[in-house]
Amino acid sequence: MGRLGQGSTEDPPAGDVRAGGAYRTEAVAEAYSFRPIARADAEEISRWRYPEPYATYDGDPSSVPGLLDPRYNYHAVTDPEGGLVGYFCFGADATVPAGRRLGLYDENALDIGLGMRPDLTGRGLGLGFVRAGLRFARQAFAPAAFRLTVTALNQRAVRVYEAAGFEVVRSFGDRGDEWLLMKRPASPEDGT
Ligand SMILES: CC(C)(COP(=O)(O)OP(=O)(O)OC[C@H]1O[C@@H](n2cnc3c(N)ncnc32)[C@H](O)[C@@H]1OP(=O)(O)O)[C@@H](O)C(=O)NCCC(=O)NCCS
């Protein structure tokens, strides 16, 4: 197939993005590879633009140094042809200042941040992508638990995280319940 999402035999029939269900999601997830991010990946990600209401996740040239900072453990996710389909980061860059001020990250868990390439979003591919990231993170970091911080406005992401076994453990923010803290054990209870 070509790059994921650019017209392959695995594309679901028009009008039914969920067609194929778990089998298809898992088949796609098995095809992902992870490697430490390279400059070309970071530059590509910095040009990504998400359709509203997700423009808050748009890349920016000024984010390139952060993406390449080894402390943040950014990883590129590629399809079998080597095309960039998304990224994960593990650790500090997946936390937010309001949560740090509240001491929400003191408990031992691996913080996870992620993004799929914009044209792949909204098509039911997120669960397989997240599961692949959890499998990689378990092998690479052997954490006790996984933790995510997501804006409460991003219900699309929250649904995927819940399907991947995460639960909301706290809502917080300087201006009300702006953020959700989600956690799950790292043990593969659901096959991930
Ligand atoms: C977050 C992400 C992985 C989600 O994956 P996805 O493939 O786009 O999500 P899906 O298309 O599978 O949608 C997930 C669910 O949300 C639902 N959904 C879509 N838009 C929604 C909305 N505005 N409100 C509520 N639910 C919504 C879908 O119907 C689907 O529900 P279902 O599981 O019951 O069928 C992906 O969008 C992404 O990487 N985005 C990049 C930016 C980002 O949001 N990063 C997250 C940072 S924490």
Cα(148) to centroid(ligand 1), Å? 15
Closest residue (by CA) to atom 21 of ligand 1?
A: 156
* Residue 10 covered by a domain: no
Q: Which atom of ligand 1 is nearest to the CA of 123?
A: 11
- Residue pLDDT, tens place only, 93-104: 999 999 999 999
Name the more confident of 165 and 16: 165
- The number of folded domains in the chain is 1
- Residue pLDDT, tens place only, 143-167: 999 999 999 999 999 999 999 999 9
Question: Domain span at residue 119?
Answer: 22-185
User: Is it the case that residue 19 has pLDDT exceeding 90?
Assistant: no
For ligand 1, mutation pick of 131, 146, 159, 181 (most atoms within 8 Å of CB): 159
Cα(149) to centroid(ligand 1), Å? 15
* Percentage of the chain exceeding pLDDT 90: 79
* Residue 175 covered by a domain: yes
Q: Specify the CATH number for the domain of residue 158.
A: 3.40.630.30
Please give the model's pTM, rounded to 2 decimal places: 0.87
* Residue 191 covered by a domain: no
From the list 69, 86, 74, the residue with the least C-alpha distance to 33 is 86
* Residue 6 covered by a domain: no
